[in-house]
C-alpha cells in the first residue's frame, strides 16, 4: 500500500518564525515529527512518501501514486488541512487524519470527508487502524480511551529519519 503523508501549511504567526527561517535559509523549523513517528509505527512493508507543504507542494506523480493519504495537524493548520482533505477526496483517495486538531475536534474533520480518524497517541491507535485496513474496513474512528503508551524505549522518530 502506498501512503502519502501530508503536513499542512502553517499560517504566519509569532511562532512561524519566518524571519528567522529566512536568515537560516530554511523553510521549516522542524520536520513533522508526528508523521515521521506514524510512518515508523505503521507496517514497514507499506511504502511511504512525506510532503511538508511548508516546504513544497505535492506533485502530480505523488498524488497518482498514493492509495491512502494520511494527515496530521494542529488547530492552527486547520484551513490547509481541510483543503487537503477536500483535494485528496476529489482525487478519489482514501484519507486518514490524526494529531492534535483531529483529536481535539474530530467532528470538524469528519464533516469534511475524512474516512478514518486515528486519534490520541498513534502508538495506541495505529495498530487498531492497521487491523481495520486488513479487515477491509472503508472507514473508522480509533481512540485510545485513556490508555497512555510507554514511549521511553521506542525511539521511532529517530530510527525513521
* Only segment of 56-64, 79-87, 98-106, 132-140 that touches ligand B12 (CB under 6 A): 98-106
Cβ 61 to ligand B12 shortest distance, Å: 23
Q: How far apart are CA 111 and CA 14, in angstroms?
A: 30
Q: Does residue number 70 form part of the binding site for ligand B12 (CB under 6 A)?
A: yes
Return the number of the residue (27 or 91) whose C-beta is nearest ligand B12: 27
Judged by beta carbon, residue 15 or residue 134, the one nearer ligand B12 is 15
Q: Does 37 bind ligand B12 (CB under 6 A)?
A: yes
Q: What is the DSSP string of 23-89?
A: HHT-S-SS--HHHHHHHHHS-TTSEEEEEETTT-PPPHHHHHH-SEEEEE--GGGHHHHHHHHHHHH
- Torsion 58-59-64-65 (CA) sign: negative
Q: Is position 33 an interface residue for ligand B12 (rule: CB under 6 A)?
A: yes
Question: In angstroms, rounded to a whole number, what is the distance separating the alpha carbons of residues 87 and 70?
Answer: 13
Contact yes or no for 6/71 (Cβ under 8 A): yes
Choose, by CB under 6 A, the member of 39, 84, 95, 101 that binds ligand B12: 101
Q: Tell whether residue 100 is a contact of ligand B12 (CB under 6 A).
A: yes
Q: Which stretches of the chain bind ligand B12, using CB under 6 A?
A: 10, 13, 15-16, 29-30, 32-34, 37-38, 70, 72, 74-76, 96, 98-101, 104, 118, 121-123, 125-126, 157
Amino acid at each position: 500500500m502506498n501512503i502519502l503523508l501530508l503536513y499542512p501549511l502553517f499560517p504566519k504567526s509569532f511562532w512561524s518564525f519566518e524571519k528567522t527561517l529566512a536568515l537560516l535559509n530554511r523553510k521549516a523549523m522542524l520536520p513533522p515529527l508526528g508523521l515521521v513517528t506514524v510512518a515508523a509505527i505503521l507496517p514497514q512493508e507499506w511504502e511511504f512518501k512525506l510532503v511538508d507543504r511548508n516546504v513544497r507542494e505535492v506533485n502530480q506523480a505523488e498524488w497518482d501514486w498514493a492509495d491512502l493519504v494520511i494527515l496530521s495537524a494542529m488547530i492552527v493548520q486547520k484551513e490547509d488541512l481541510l483543503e487537503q482533505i477536500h483535494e485528496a477526496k476529489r482525487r478519489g483517495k482514501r484519507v486518514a487524519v490524526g494529531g492534535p486538531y483531529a483529536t481535539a475536534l474530530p467532528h470538524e474533520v469528519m464533516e469534511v470527508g475524512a474516512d478514518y480518524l486515528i486519534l490520541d497517541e498513534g502508538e495506541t491507535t495505529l495498530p487498531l487502524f492497521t487491523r481495520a485496513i486488513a479487515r477491509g474496513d472503508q472507514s473508522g474512528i480509533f481512540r485510545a480511551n485513556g490508555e497512555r503508551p510507554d514511549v521511553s524505549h521506542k525511539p521511532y522518530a529517530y530510527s525513521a529519519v
